[in-house]
């Protein structure tokens, strides 16, 4: 069997798509021991002859794990252990930039990390990890995602700053005003620390976002009890979001085709090269992390 070195991390509703076999046939469910716990939810998927690993980051049943409680380090370690070199992920953030549309797509190129209490590095004791963040998302994977989504939606946003909050609660109006002043376009809860952890283990990482709602205070919305986000999203917007979500498997498949056809020429694979050259670490990445 050829080596599987590409993975997809699915966000909200990935559990449904997996159940409906939208991504193809699950041919294996590897169980991976990591220093942060065992990872049992990764699936090896065969999509029309193309094989890749797939993980629903919120679990296999509806939102079994919310954003602050995802075991990000275990997930990224497990992918590294399986030989994964490139990860494409998706998420459904809210909109801070009023020029963006609900139901549209964006491929973020920058991040602001406003998370508060989740472990965000592997290097808690090792004196490593002063890694440049000029491109927090892999430029090559971003290119593949932009090509792929551009075929489905000519209006996909090519650059956006994603701000990551702790969650699971949504943001207050004052927080959104603050984040807008920071220059954030999108607000979500999951890409930090996923993107940073991947870089620490020299794995390429990029994300595609389908935009689910206008953030609090951006538009007037009556509070409605017992419905999605208590009325932040209208019925019409919900339909657009569902349509965007329906396109996600195809967008991912197209992006993976591009990824598979391209050599890996980006800087991500050398994120820790400085430390290797100094002799501080060896090629054995497991020894980079605290024992
Ligand atoms: Zn890369």
What CATH number matches the domain at 6-288, 3.20.20.70, 3.40.50.1580, 3.40.630.30, 1.10.1060.10? 3.40.50.1580
Ligand 1 geometric centre to CA of 7 (Å):
13
Of 17, 61, 25, which is closest to residue 43 (Cα–Cα)? 25
List per-residue pLDDT tens for the chain, 291 residues long.
468 899 999 887 777 777 777 777 888 999 999 999 999 999 999 988 889 999 999 887 777 889 999 999 999 999 999 999 999 999 999 999 999 999 999 999 999 999 999 999 999 988 899 999 999 999 999 999 999 999 887 789 999 999 999 999 999 999 999 999 999 999 999 999 999 999 999 999 999 999 999 999 998 888 888 888 888 889 999 999 999 988 888 898 899 999 989 899 999 999 999 999 999 999 999 999 864
Ligand 1 geometric centre to CA of 62 (Å):
31
Encoded tokens for 262: 């391209």
Say how far apart CA 191 and CA 27 lie, in whole Å. Answer: 27
- Phi and psi torsions of 279, nearest 5°: 80, 10
- Sorted by where each begins, the domain ranges of the chain are 6-288
Ligand 1 geometric centre to CA of 198 (Å):
10
Ligand 1 geometric centre to CA of 22 (Å):
27
Say how far apart CA 191 and CA 194 lie, in whole Å. Answer: 5
**Contact predicate 185/109, CB 8 Å:** no
Q: How far is CA 159 from CA 21, 109, 111, in A?
A: 31, 5, 11
Ligand 1 geometric centre to CA of 8 (Å):
15
> What residues form DSSP beta bridges with 56?
10
Ligand 1 geometric centre to CA of 281 (Å):
21
Ligand 1 geometric centre to CA of 137 (Å):
8
Say how far apart CA 22 and CA 9 lie, in whole Å. Answer: 14
Of 271, 262, 200, 255, which is closest to residue 52 (Cα–Cα)? 255
Encoded tokens for 232: 């932040």
The reported pTM is 0.95
Of 111, 77, 107, 102, which is closest to residue 89 (Cα–Cα)? 107
C-alpha 47 chain-centroid distance: 20
């Amino acid at each position: 069997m050829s080596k599987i070195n590409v993975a997809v991390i699915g966000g909200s509703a990935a559990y449904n798509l997996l159940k409906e076999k939208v991504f193809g046939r699950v041919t294996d469910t590897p169980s991976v021991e990591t220093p942060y716990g065992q990872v049992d939810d990764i699936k090896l998927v065969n999509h029309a002859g193309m094989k890749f690993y797939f993980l629903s980051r919120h679990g296999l049943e509806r939102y079994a794990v919310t954003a602050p409680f995802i075991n990000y380090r275990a997930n990224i370690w497990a992918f590294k252990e399986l030989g994964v070199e490139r990860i494409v992920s998706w998420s459904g953030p809210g909109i801070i930039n009023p020029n963006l549309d609900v139901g549209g797509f964006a491929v973020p190129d920058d991040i602001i990390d406003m998370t508060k209490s989740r472990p965000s590095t592997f290097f808690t004791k090792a004196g490593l990890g002063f890694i440049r963040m000029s491109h927090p998302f892999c430029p090559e994977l971003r290119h593949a995602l932009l090509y792929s989504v551009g075929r489905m939606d000519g209006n996909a946003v090519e650059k956006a700053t994603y701000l990551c909050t702790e969650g699971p609660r949504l943001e207050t109006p004052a927080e959104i005003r603050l984040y807008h002043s920071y220059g954030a376009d999108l607000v979500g809860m999951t890409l930090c620390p996923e993107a940073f952890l991947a870089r620490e283990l020299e794995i390429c990482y990029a994300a595609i976002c389908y935009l689910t709602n206008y953030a609090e205070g951006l538009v007037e919305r009556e509070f409605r009890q017992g419905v999605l986000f208590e009325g932040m999203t209208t019925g019409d917007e919900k339909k657009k979001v569902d349509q965007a979500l329906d396109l996600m498997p195809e967008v991912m498949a197209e992006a993976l085709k591009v990824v598979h056809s391209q050599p890996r020429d980006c800087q991500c694979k050398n994120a820790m090269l400085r430390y290797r050259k100094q002799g501080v670490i060896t090629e054995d990445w497991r020894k980079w992390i605290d024992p």
